Chains A and B, each alone.
Chain A
Amino acid sequence: MPFNSDEPKPSFQPSNKVKVMSKPMPPPSRGGSYMGQPRSGGTSGMEGSMSVNSIMTTKEKQKYIEDYNFQYCDEASKYEKIAKIGQGTFGEVFKAKDRKTQKKIVAMKKVLMDNEKEGFPITALREIKILQLLKHENVVNLLEICRTKATLSNRYKTTFYLVFDFCEHDLAGLLSNINVKFSLGEIKKVMQQLLNGLYYIHSNKILHRDMKAANVLITKTGILKLADFGLARPFSFSKNSAPNRYTNRVVTLWYRPPELLLGDRNYGPPVDLWGAGCIMAEMWTRSPIMQGNTEQQQLTLISQLCGSITPEVWPGVDSLELYTKMELPRDQKRKVKERLKPYVKDPFACDLLDKLLVLDPSKRADSDSALNHDFFWTDPMPCDLSKMLAQHTQSMFEYLAPPRRPGHMRPHHQQAAVINPTAARATTSSVESGYQDRVF
């Protein structure tokens, strides 16, 4: 499909291509032939020219829209779809290649609008706003938003795509592949980058609200990127008089912190740090540590790991909406270190996990204090992931991976994380430049 912008335009271009302060000032352009429409009387600016009759007919407008060259919104056809790599909160995700350079690889997230009664989804608007704000090495980079051409065949309904820098892997995909082994230094690097990303977004007053291994992307060079801001939102610290009323129906159940499960609507950054703790443990257990099927069951699993939820360990918890409505196991001892020790041999790692998986959100470590933890400042120091990842030529996404083995973390099932070393060699790809995509 040819680039629309390369086509000659029948329209006239206004003569002023004035540059404003060294920035290109886009000339008011139009690409269509709607200009052939009759003008009322030809007198400029007469009031009568705006009477209802002189407004474009639907057909003329459709033509206008079809031909209009939106200078700031490229056509999606500039990219060539390679494979579907995921299913986001509001649409599919594709891997695609820039047709022009034949090099640049991107991920395109389709904005699903078919079932929207209220136009462009507010969730997508939120994600766009937030992604435009966040520019950081450890946050996925929104390159642009592309459109499909409005034509008769799509009933003049443009489809939009968010276009991101492509990342080869997601953490869930990597962890589900027994051939991928992380050394302690590499785990530190993953967690350090993850906490760095969280520190950055929280400093920008954004909550991610959907922390999970599948939303942690890792490039082939080992750079971690927090992704999927489809549930993210700005936050503020509420004044006592007017607590925030955020929805608590966020975060994938297995990574959902106890305050959300108990109906808190005035939460903050600690919700993301609970998720960070779950992900960190998963670096060793290789599967999510608490896989509840219901919110009640999730709370039970949390209590079994972190101890009973009581006002003694968590002052004020009894004022949360669901505190009396949920069944909370009593007399549970806190066993975070004890149960994770079989997987996590490093005592500093255990200690940091113990500080992240804290029931009371106000006592949970924040990203800054977590980053200052000895875990990151003792040998082996965090080390680059690129070497390890270079052994894997296949893109690993949870979406493409075979379903992960279910099963809860069992304290006595100590060998879960053992990896068969003989199976470590992944098939070397015949495609030298790129990564093969497993498409099922």
Chain B
Amino acid sequence: MGCVRKRFLSSMPYWYYEKKELKDTPSFHDGIDFETESRYRKEGARFIIDTGTKMDLGYNTMATGVVYFHRFYMYHSFKTFPRYVTACCCLFLAGKVEETPKKCKDIIKIASELLSKNKFQTFGDDPKEEVMTLERILLQTIKFDLQIEHPYSFLLKYAKCLKGDKAKLEKMLQMAWTFVNDSLCTTLSLQWEPEVIAVALMYLAGKLSKFEVVDWAGRQPNHLRWWDMFVEGVTMDLLEDICHQVLDLYSQPQQPNSPDSPPMSLTSSTKRELKSVPIVAQPIARLSPVKPIQPIVTGAKLKTDLKSQTDGPGLPPTSVDVVPSQYSYPPGVTSYTNSSFSAQPFPQNVPLQSTSNSSSYPPSYPPSYPPAQANSQYLPPSKSHHPQPQQPPSSQFYPASQSSFSSSYQPQ
């Protein structure tokens, strides 16, 4: 399994960790259990993405910020450095590194809007100074390893080589793209190189979108699978493991209401009810015409489907009728030079799942997936200047103004 991990310079710190190392972090030694740390990481990553999306930052900037964030907490505890300050700092630095700079005070302003009063208190009396001071610590911690590669570019590279029905391929690519978005909330970027993550999540998307890769450009006789051309030594076990780490995001039980979270706008009993009821993801709310609610697909179900396909003959995954049909690639994707970053901001209000049969696609099935929780946490009900529109409970979970991560994060 190890042979795929090969890309590093001797002088560089090694940024990839074994799973057991990920359970032996400064936070863990500081009394924070693994599950809690995972949640903090997820919340921090989501917050970076939400803030970045609000500021029209590109996916590379957000992803870079998230990777800084994950790396930072391999050296410091969440108790020492509150996650939302660190998240702002990571996004601030990533903005500069990816040539999409944002003013520190603007980031803080968005943060103050997104966060509850309680959480924003962690920024102290002088939030800007807090972020500035942290930036120096961040830079030293990450050893000025500023340039981060993300799986996105590899998805595009791989997709170009695959042969098959073009529409299906694009559908698959879009799905893989979304999985990569969501994978930022996991620690996968601390475990595997972007190439490996791209292969795994494209494999997953291929399975779920029923796009079978039969041939690819540049195929050699010794290539059994398309990815053999790009990464060596990727086993099925490894792929499954990576896929499951992402799929776990969609099946995680909702966290109990944490004391440091603002009160939810819904009573917990309502939430419990909602949890047991299929919730249609936010994007659908903006669609017209609204499609009938489709049965929810849980991560567990997806896993079953994945399994049945992997294991050979089995029932076709009928329930996973995936993927938005409208997608496009980020403009200028062929050249990932800095100059093109600003040209490809993430669309804020593009209805990505504009057509039918989209509701069961991963982005829209986080019934219990953090977005629901996270979004609602960001919206303290007390904010009188932000009146909540009267909406059915489910849409309150996905306020239209804050599109869920997955969907708003798709390339255009």
Contacts and interface: CB of A to CB of B under 8 A. Distances in A.
Contact of B147 (A51, A132, A160): A132
B260 A50 contact: yes
Given A122-B96, A128-B146, A44 B21 contact: no
A412 interface: no
Nearest to A56: B80
Interface in B126-152: 131-133, 135-137, 139-147
B384 to A, nearest CB: 23
Contacts of B382: none
A120 B21 contact: no
Contacts of B135: 119-120
B78 A50 contact: yes
B14 A23 contact: yes
B268 interface: no
A156 B101 CA distance: 25
Interface in A110-167: 117-120, 122, 125, 128-129, 132-133, 145, 147, 150, 156-158, 160
Given A28-B24, A129-B146, A49 B32 contact: yes
A244 B335 CA distance: 13
A52 B14 contact: no
Interface string A214-258: 000000000000000000011111110010101000000000000
Given A49-B31, A156-B133, A157-B136, A120 B104 contact: no
A42 interface: yes
Given A45-B33, A156-B133, A34 B147 contact: no
Contacts of A39: 31
B326 interface: no
B29 A14 contact: yes
Contact of A16 (B24, B74, B131, B258): B24
A244 B24 CA distance: 46
A47 B260 contact: yes
B122 to A, nearest CB: 6
Nearest to B74: A28
B36 interface: yes
Given A147-B140, A234-B337, A16 B20 contact: yes
Nearest to A37: B79
A370 B276 CA distance: 72
Given A47-B259, A145-B144, A150 B338 contact: no
B87 interface: no
B74 A129 contact: no
Nearest to A233: B338
A29 B141 CA distance: 11
A326 to B, nearest CB: 26
A18 B32 contact: no
A149 to B, nearest CB: 11
Contacts of A237: 335
Contacts of B75: 26, 28-29
21 contacts: A12-B29, A23-B14, A25-B17, A25-B21, A26-B13, A28-B24, A30-B26, A49-B32, A50-B40, A51-B260, A52-B118, A52-B121, A65-B137, A72-B141, A73-B140, A73-B144, A120-B96, A125-B96, A158-B136, A160-B139, A246-B339
Interface of A: 12, 14, 16, 18, 20-21, 23-26, 28-30, 34, 39, 42-45, 47-52, 54-56, 58, 61, 64-65, 68, 70-73, 117-120, 122, 125, 128-129, 132-133, 145, 147, 150, 156-158, 160, 205, 233-239, 242, 244, 246
3 smallest beta-carbon distances between A and B, as pairs: A45-B33, A72-B143, A23-B14
